[in-house]
Amino acid sequence: MSQLQLQVNGEPRTIPGPATLVDLLGHLTIDPRMVVVELNREIVRRPSLGEVTLKSGDQIELVHFVGGG
């Protein structure tokens, strides 16, 4: 198993690879329904999160939804 070196919201992260965006969200304990994911400056649609394989050097931005009124 290899290690992936990623940038997540500007912070360096290392996760086991190979991994998809869904795997990354699971590693970070983030519910995929509560976040918008941008990979290398392109928004990834939620149904594709399990299909996109990450590579070392990828830059991921996560925007969380917060409920309330």
**CA dihedral sign of residues 47, 38, 53, 15:** negative
Q: How confident is the model at residue 69 (pLDDT cuts 50, 70, 90)?
A: low
For residue 26, being part of any structural domain is answered with yes
User: What's the average model confidence in pLDDT over 54-65?
Assistant: 95
Structurally, the chain folds into a number of domains equal to 1
6-43 pLDDT, tens digit per residue, is: 999 999 999 999 999 999 999 999 999 999 999 999 99
Residue 24 lies in a domain: yes
CA 55 remoteness from chain centre = 11
- CATH number of the domain encompassing residue 59: 3.10.20.30
Contacts of 13 (CB under 8 A, 6+ apart): 5, 6, 7
pTM over 0.85? The answer is yes
Please say whether the beta carbons of 59 and 39 come within 8 A. Answer: yes
Question: 41 is in which domain, residue-wise?
Answer: 2-64
Residue 11, domain member (yes or no): yes
Is 69 inside any structural domain?
Answer: no
Question: Is 50 a domain residue?
Answer: yes
